[in-house]
Structure 1
Amino acid sequence: MTVTESAQKPEAPANEEQPVVYKSNLEDFEREADVRLPFLLSYREVKLLGIAGVGFFLDAYDLFIINPVATMLQYRLYGGNELPANLEGFVKAGANIGSVIGQFAFGYSADYFGRKAVYGKELMLIIFATIGSICDPTGAISPSGSLIWLGVWRIILGIGIGGDYPMSASVATDRANLRRRGTLLSYIFANQGWGSFVGSLATIIVLLCYKHTMEVDGHTSKVDGVWRILVGLSLIPAFGTLYQRLTLPESTRYAEAQKAAQRVQDEESIEQLKKKANADPGVSEKTKHSSDEEGSGTQTPTVETATAESQSVKAAKELAHAKKGHFKEFFAYFSEWRHLKVLLGTCVCWFLLDIAFYGVNLNQNVVLQQMGFDGSEGTPWNRLFKIGIGNLIITALGFVPGYYATILTIEKLGRKWIQIQGFLMAALFLGILAGKFYTLNTPSFIVCFAFLQFFFNFGANTTTYCYPAEVFPTRFRASAHGMSAACGKAGAIISALAFNSLTKSIGTPAVLWIFVGCCIFGAAFTLLLPEVRDRDPDVVYEQELRERERARH
């Protein structure tokens, strides 16, 4: 069973000047939305959450799991020595590089071809790349060849993961009730926290299963099986939701947006014909004659022919007509400063956030070292197990609670307030870590880092995902979301590639001070964004089109 559409346009109002209002055709759902708290989901919303949320679960799971996998490959390929720096960076940054491609490509495709035509293809790509990764022939080719193999497949994996950002955001927003739209998006994004948590828990469990083999029997090379199992486990939720994604129907809100786009294009075409007719009297007579024929044709078989035409053919023509001007409309929309500044705000805020967020989380070995869980001592199995425990502590303390603080408060506090305070509080705790990096004792360091993670997630890490999905109209939502997300991943790539070299040259505290600056600038750029709580961007866009039409006349 697929998720039922929840965004259907009502009958046209008598007063044509009234903006279009989108209501759900699920009357029971609407009544529930009026009485239930925003964070209490209905069955349909839970089902949509399961379908859309798996992409973010896999995103976080993959980003987390590559750190312990890289450590395991040290023992499998290099006898416990460190991986070559360039190849390690390639493997770790591969998914983020692919994400930028996927976010741009799938974002534009979702607006151009429709959600139904594209949704599910990104998950197929993730499955294909995961299978390719676990087929890495570590014993048959050179160690560097094995790392290159894994890095290439991770780029492909990243394309699929990146594509999930605009796809799931658009699919969820198109179906969300306005009063609980931000909550639903936050629930979907919170799967990142569970992906990291499950990844750390799975690492511990699989290592425990291999303890006798690696510790007692001394077969350290068997760690090759550990990392393949950990990577392969992500196939379970991927296959579990693939059918649901491929069979999800097109949202009514998207279909209505396409029809509205066609009406705008038709009006512009008529306007151009009138101008041409005024300039050329011959064309004027021809146009008038044609209009007279059309008028008299109301009593002729022409109407019968039109009514006999199948609805599916009509819909296909409307969609093709709307597609023609999509690229032109996209640039016309964002050529206005009031829209461009919002896109600039979503892109820059996400970019600055990911520099700090991924700079810390892709290099957790520095944090684990300060906490005493870096696995620098003991047997290979003990080292890997200790790293797993450290990651589990970090995830449980900061990641998951922060997401759910956002879920519980986003409809009350608003996106803008949460994002600004999240940036500023993250800057505060990053500043404490930077200033006291070498003097904080272990408990203080853990508490400070947990608060940092909490305010990343009860803040900009969640709202930068929600904002593009809520502030832009359906017609351009996926494209704008994909552009914003791609800017974020660009920040993650810069941070991942520059962190180690900067740390060696200027020291970790100085790098943390750079992250402090990113968070402060992120709070400043948030001021470009409007508050989107209870705001329907399609109604706003409809009003703008009417204003433009009046100005033209």
Structure 2
Amino acid sequence: MANPHEPTLMESIKFFCVAGVGYFADGYMVTVIGVVVTMLGYVYFKDNGGVVPTLQGSAIKGCMNAGLILGQISFGILGDALGRKKVYGKELMFTIFGTLMCILLPWKGFSQGGVIAWMSVWRLVTGFGVGGDYPMSSVLAAERSVFGSRAKVVTMMRVFQMFGITAAYVVFVILLAGYRQQIEQNIDAVEWVWRLLMGIGIIPCILTIYSRMAMNETEAYKRYIIEDRSAQSNQNEHEKIQDKQGIRNHSTQFRTYFSNRRHAIALFAVSFAWFLNNISTYGISLNQPTILALIGYANGATKFDTLWKTGVGSIIIQAAGNVPGDIISIWLPDLIGRRNMQFFFGIATAVVMAAWAGVGKTASAGGQITLLTLSQLFVQTGVSGAIFLLPVELFPTRVRATAYGIAAGSGQAGGLLTAFSFGNFVAAAGIPGVVGFLASLYAIVGCVVWLVPETKGSTLEDIENDVLFRKGRPADLEHLTAPSSQDDEEGVTKATVTSNKA
């Protein structure tokens, strides 16, 4: 479906900046908590060797993931039921408020339990807002005509997420450098570092919240939801038409669509892959300071040295692995297809991690960080890119945001699991044992993608007409369009497939 109102270059750039802020905040807010928990230990847990106990630290990290799950599913449902425009922008309110409350943790008079409870509750609120951005920004990117292919537009959102992660470590190192003298004289000075570190992350959110709320409804939602309901209601002149599906109508649409076996299998496959992938990615990102210390890269003579090496080591991993991988993934979907991306890079990641597990006890710190960086390069280049893209391309407008929220929420369930278990797992099995386990997960992630159809070359109209799920669809057709008709015995729409090659 061509958009008759093609945006200008400046409008496209504005859209990317406004929509990308949510993913920037996600990468930033999820990442900072690893070093924030370390600094909280230095200040509030001196009687425990300056370390937050594993369970309490996991609670702070895990509550963010719990909020992400709630936000992704809730905003996904609301985005489909009420419309993209009515919902978009509200999620940033939760992100901003939750983070501000974390920053305002009382300086004095709080017990250790009080600190843990305060941070956990407000990280839950922050996660709810950040989670809500996943389905909303991704669906907007898929449904808007900006520039380039749909895959490029959607995957470019991930680049903002990686910029957020990188920015978190860069800001961390800059703040450490600025407060070095105070920290070396009194470790309590890191109080300023962690508060400023979290506060800086919400500045882009504050600057773009108005633009989000002023954004127009997508053409896809207008055509397939608003106009479609209006046409159906013409048979009843007394029916009042609103620019939304409504919660009850959406619930019926969702149950009807996913009662189809192929649709349900596809949703399970993308959700399961995201779940397994996040066990690894969140295990590494949330615990990067711990991992770097265990492989001998972040062990310093002083607490400041430990923090500094953690920040620098994390920037190296980002600059050499994650950021290049995300940038490459922008072009891969249209070159080799989504399924090939997830399969081949999933297997490649499994091989690298298996090699890391094999040499983990004997390799130098430099060798291990090289293998860690290479594994993250493969994950971001192929695996995460396909996982991020497929849920927004497989399902029609009426259930797109909800399905994406469920898939993303399943991923955060993996992150929640690893937040509470990763520390104990590392203590019991060591880095080689953990990495070997993650290698097996990526082998499964690579294979599960064959349960879903290839979406390369499909249009929004093809997705709306269920072309992707028809048996016998030629995999090499670049463009497919078909009118919907009656359902076959499996509930799959019958239609004549026509090829309209440019």
TM-score (norm: length of structure 2): 0.89
Cα offset, 1:348, TM superposition: 0.9
Cα offset, 1:537, TM superposition: 4.2
Cα offset, 1:366, TM superposition: 4.2
Cα offset, 1:539, TM superposition: 3.0
Give a deviation string over 1:247-289, Cα, whole Å, max 9, x none: 001112101111465279669xx8xxxxxxxxxxxxxxxxxxx
CA change 1:68–1:320 in 2 (3 A) is closer
Cα pair 2:55 2:420 within 8 Å, conserved: no
Determine whether 1:499 maps to 2:422. yes
Cα offset, 1:330, TM superposition: 1.0
Cα offset, 1:137, TM superposition: 0.7
Partner of 2:5: 26
Cα pair 1:138 1:146 within 8 Å, conserved: no
**Which residue of 447, 452, 456 maps to 2:379?**
456
Determine whether 1:334 maps to 2:258. yes
- What amino acid sits opposite 2:60 in the alignment? V
Cα pair 2:75 2:405 within 8 Å, conserved: yes
Cα offset, 1:93, TM superposition: 1.1
**Which residue of 272, 293, 311 maps to 1:388?**
311
Cα offset, 1:55, TM superposition: 1.1
CA change 1:320–1:62 in 2 (3 A) is closer
Determine whether 1:245 maps to 2:212. yes
Partner of 2:22: 55
Q: Which runs of 5+ in 1 are unaligned?
A: 1-21, 30-41, 271-293, 295-305
Cα pair 1:345 1:528 within 8 Å, conserved: yes
Tell me the distance in 1 between the aligned counterparts of 2:244 and 2:131. 27
Give a deviation string over 1:461-504, Cα, whole Å, max 9, x none: 12211111111111111000000001001011112212222223
Give a deviation string over 1:169-201, Cα, whole Å, max 9, x none: 111111036961111111111112111111111
Cα offset, 1:28, TM superposition: 7.8
**Which residue of 187, 207, 221 maps to 2:156?**
187
Tell me the distance in 2 between the aligned counterparts of 1:502 and 1:45. 45
Partner of 2:182: 213
Partner of 1:301: none
Partner of 1:71: 38
Cα offset, 1:367, TM superposition: 3.1
Q: Which runs of 5+ in 2 are unaligned?
A: 468-482, 495-502
CA change 1:140–1:204 in 2 (3 A) is same
Partner of 2:485: 547
**Which residue of 139, 142, 145 maps to 2:111?**
142
CA change 1:472–1:550 in 2 (3 A) is closer
Partner of 2:498: none
Cα offset, 1:506, TM superposition: 3.2
Cα pair 1:373 1:389 within 8 Å, conserved: no
**Which residue of 342, 355, 379 maps to 2:279?**
355
How high is the sequence identity, in percent, across the aligned residues? Answer: 30
More deviation in 115-124 or 364-373? 364-373
Tell me the distance in 1 between the aligned counterparts of 2:488 and 2:273. 35
CA change 1:509–1:373 in 2 (3 A) is closer
**Which residue of 352, 355, 365 maps to 1:442?**
365
Give a deviation string over 1:283-305, Cα, whole Å, max 9, x none: xxxxxxxxxxx9xxxxxxxxxxx
Partner of 2:355: 432
Partner of 2:126: 157
- What amino acid sits opposite 1:187 in the alignment? M
- What amino acid sits opposite 2:486 in the alignment? R
CA change 1:205–1:261 in 2 (3 A) is same
Partner of 2:78: 109
Partner of 1:508: 431
Give a deviation string over 1:224-246, Cα, whole Å, max 9, x none: 11110000001211111111101
Partner of 2:447: 524
Cα pair 1:405 1:458 within 8 Å, conserved: yes
Structure with bigger helix share is: 1
Cα pair 2:12 2:147 within 8 Å, conserved: no
Tell me the distance in 2 between the aligned counterparts of 1:512 and 1:132. 36
More deviation in 72-81 or 224-233? 72-81
Cα pair 2:83 2:244 within 8 Å, conserved: no
Cα pair 1:107 1:482 within 8 Å, conserved: yes
- What amino acid sits opposite 1:524 in the alignment? C
CA RMSD between the two structures: 2.5
Cα pair 1:178 1:536 within 8 Å, conserved: no
SS at the partner of 1:468? helix
Tell me the distance in 1 between the aligned counterparts of 2:146 and 2:198. 36
1:146-295 equivalences under 5 Å are: 146-176=115-145, 180-215=149-184, 218-259=185-226, 261-262=228-229
Determine whether 1:97 maps to 2:66. yes
Partner of 1:465: 388
Cα offset, 1:109, TM superposition: 0.4
Give a deviation string over 1:304-362, Cα, whole Å, max 9, x none: xx8xx9xxxx9x61546776522111111111112111111111111111112222222
Give a deviation string over 1:191-223, Cα, whole Å, max 9, x none: 1211111111111111111112222xx122121
Cα offset, 1:449, TM superposition: 1.3
SS at the partner of 1:459? helix
TM-score (norm: length of structure 1): 0.81
Question: How many residues matched?
Answer: 474
Give a deviation string over 1:487-543, Cα, whole Å, max 9, x none: 001011112212222223333322222211211111111001111122124334336
Cα offset, 1:365, TM superposition: 3.1
**Which residue of 343, 346, 356 maps to 1:423?**
346
Cα pair 1:346 1:464 within 8 Å, conserved: yes
CA change 1:543–1:192 in 2 (3 A) is closer
Cα offset, 1:168, TM superposition: 0.4
**Larger Rg, first or second structure (1 or 2):** 1
Tell me the distance in 1 between the aligned counterparts of 2:252 and 2:156. 34
Tell me the distance in 2 between the aligned counterparts of 1:214 and 1:325. 58
Partner of 1:283: none
